Amino acid sequence: MSRVGEQAARDTTNCLDETTVTLFLARRLAPTPSGVLEQHIDTCPRCRRVLSALARSLRE
């Protein structure tokens, strides 16, 4: 296998599923000491998209 997508693959491993994002938005998730969720969302366009889409749907 090529190593080209290694970083992307690692990022995807940390991707939040829809349930986690929903709970995160509802602030029911216990804050993580290192802020891994926030950190991942900050660096992952994919999760940011899911997050903003869900945030919008919750606001409506």
Q: List the one residue from 20, 23, 46, 55 that touches Zn ion (CB under 5 A).
A: 46
Rounded to a whole number of angstroms, the minimum distance from the CB of residue 28 to Zn ion is 19
Q: Interface with Zn ion by CB under 5 A: which range of 1-9, 10-18, 23-31, 51-59?
A: 10-18
> Is the backbone of residue 35 left (phi > 0), alpha (psi -120 to 50) or beta?
left
Residues 11, 1 contacting (CB under 8 angstroms): no
Q: Interface with Zn ion by CB under 5 A: which range of 1-9, 28-36, 40-48, 52-60?
A: 40-48
**What is the number of other CB atoms lying within 10 angstroms of the CB of residue 44?**
18
